[in-house]
Amino acid sequence: MPGALSICNAGKVYDPGGLNVVAMDGITFDIRENAFCVVVGPSGCGKTTLLNSVAGFDGLTSGEIFLDGERIAGRGVSAKPGPGRMVVFQNGALFPWKTVLWNVSCGPVQQGRMSRAEAQTKARELMAKVGLSGIEDQFPGQLSGGQKRRVEIVRALMNNPKVLLMDEPFRALDALTKSVVQEFLLEVYDAIPKTVFFITHDLEEAIFLADVVVVMSTRPGTVKRIVKTGLPRPRDHTLLTSPEFLRLYGELEALIHEEAMKAFRAGERELA
């Protein structure tokens, strides 16, 4: 399952009441198949806008996006989401009125690829494989925040997507839970390699997870720097204190801080 993502000169202008807010402009970078790419930037830099165009929730006003050569966004392409591009949402989107098993197995059933029984068998297998057995018959509301996130990742993987899109998925978690779920994601990534497009404003998270970190500037969002981390896999939390990690962190922190300050000042201007 390939999943090479190519973003060419992507731009988006929102026009609420003729205000012409440029959310992002001239974004160009490639993610080769099975690479883990993390986009970092301050709030309001267009990260989510970019992810929504890749997901097919929203169109572009300029530029194009290709997935394995197929044009999925751009002029004349109507935005259309699909199981090839699975999204893990910021606040989680497991259907709370369905059991965990239903949630995990629903994709292949709805796409007509499997019968309900087949999908459920596969869901149980996958959940067992990643250490989530025993919660299949519970409702998402009965799970902890960390469990919910892991189940949602498994639900996405059940659809065998070309690319996994993650929109600040661990934002609402406390620090301890967050590190547990990050390691879970890395284990899953090592076991089932996928192209991952991950958004965060947490630089430590970005470097810990990524092969490639894309730093975005504040509004209008543009690509400020692309850094290959070159850190070895498999990774665990001991990486966080390694000299190589700290060197990267130092290098990127300055960039991010500069953008955050710009965003902050712009915000002050807007409020003034």
Q: For binding to another protein (CB under 8 A), which residues are involved? A: 55-57, 81-83, 85-87, 89-93, 95-98, 106-107, 110-111, 131-135, 138-142, 144-147, 155, 159, 174, 176-177, 180-181
User: Least CB distance from residue 88 to another protein, whole Å?
Assistant: 9
Q: Which is nearer to another protein, 147 or 217 (CB)?
A: 147
Phi, psi of 194 (to 5 degrees): -145, 160
Q: Which is nearer to another protein, 25 or 58 (CB)?
A: 58
Q: Which is nearer to another protein, 41 or 56 (CB)?
A: 56
User: Least CB distance from residue 74 to another protein, whole Å?
Assistant: 19
d(CA 13, CA 25): 8
Q: Which is nearer to another protein, 127 or 207 (CB)?
A: 127
d(CA 171, CA 167): 9
User: Least CB distance from residue 254 to another protein, whole Å?
Assistant: 32
Cα 95 off chain centre by: 19
User: Least CB distance from residue 145 to another protein, whole Å?
Assistant: 7
The side-by-side arrangement of strands in the sheet containing 85-88 is 85-88, 163-167, 195-200, 36-40, 212-216, 223-228
Adjacent-strand bridge partners of 13 = 22
- Under a CB-based contact definition with an 8 Å cutoff, are residues 201 and 41 in contact? yes
d(CA 10, CA 220): 12
User: Least CB distance from residue 187 to another protein, whole Å?
Assistant: 11
Q: Which is nearer to another protein, 6 or 177 (CB)?
A: 177
Residue 254: Cβ within 10 Å count = 9
